[in-house]
Chain A
């Protein structure tokens, strides 16, 4: 591969700038590779939705184990398929901010669903919240990926 700088032992400003530009280009290439395949975010969304639906069906006891296995399996398969291992949710400032907002929204929806179903006796409220959480998980997953890519390209 062509590189636009050589390696003198005492670099001048132009040489240092060329090296920094090459580093920025490399960061951009990594950013391109942290795009998760569609099945990762969709799979996570479906898994989250199903675990909440199982609460409405009073079947959460057996659903939690498979849910954890599915989440771990998706992460492992993602790592194998992209060849990159990283904490996508907390890797950069932009991704972290979105992840925090996601967690707050997820907890809010879950608490609302649980209150409605168990406190106000609204049947299927947790399942409804689960569907919203699934959609939120999928949508935010794409946005968090995009934020991580943007921050990496910007050198953050």
Chain B
């Protein structure tokens, strides 16, 4: 079972989207990820590097018939950290809902 844990490396908007997309597949081509995110190569490279340094991404270069293609995948640690982060975000939202539904009165 994955424990819920806020992860600052994953939480940055672009990195959260990268992890969300990669969590749904086995691997994704760098160019596909870039187009899906609608960011430049350099922006994606920067975020991929950060996630890779944290041990959350595997980056492989495959030689194709015409040009090399870079494939990106979440590592098992990355999947676990992402699941824990999403679980923590859900917990925070649920906690907020509870507080709104059952606010503690000032006298209590």
Contact = CB atoms under 8 A, between A and B. Distances in A.
B17 A23 contact: yes
A97 interface: no
A11 B24 contact: no
Contacts, number: 96
Contact of A87 (B20, B26, B97): B26
A7 B11 contact: yes
B86 interface: yes
A154 to B, nearest CB: 12
B32 interface: yes
Q: How large is the interface on A (under 10, 10 to 19, 20 to 34, 35 or more residues)?
A: 20 to 34
A152 B24 contact: yes
Interface stretch (A26-34, A55-63, A122-130): A26-34
A2 B69 CA distance: 27
Interface in B1-48: 6, 8, 11-14, 16-17, 20-21, 24-29, 31-33, 36-39
B89 A11 contact: yes
A8 to B, nearest CB: 9
Interface in A76-94: 80, 82-87, 91
B38 A19 contact: no
A13 interface: yes
A85 B13 contact: no
Interface residues of B, number: 36
Q: Per DSSP, are chain B's interface residues mostly helix, strand or loop, or mixed?
A: helix
B93 A20 contact: yes
23 contacts: A1-B14, A12-B92, A13-B97, A13-B99, A14-B96, A16-B89, A16-B96, A17-B93, A19-B16, A22-B13, A23-B17, A23-B89, A26-B17, A26-B20, A26-B21, A26-B36, A29-B21, A30-B20, A30-B21, A30-B25, A34-B25, A80-B64, A85-B28
Interface of B: 6, 8, 11-14, 16-17, 20-21, 24-29, 31-33, 36-39, 64, 69, 71, 86, 88-90, 92-93, 95-97, 99
Given A3-B13, A26-B16, A27-B20, 16 more contacts: A5-B13, A7-B13, A13-B96, A13-B97, A14-B96, A16-B90, A19-B89, A23-B20, A23-B86, A26-B21, A33-B36, A80-B64, A83-B28, A83-B33, A85-B71, A91-B25
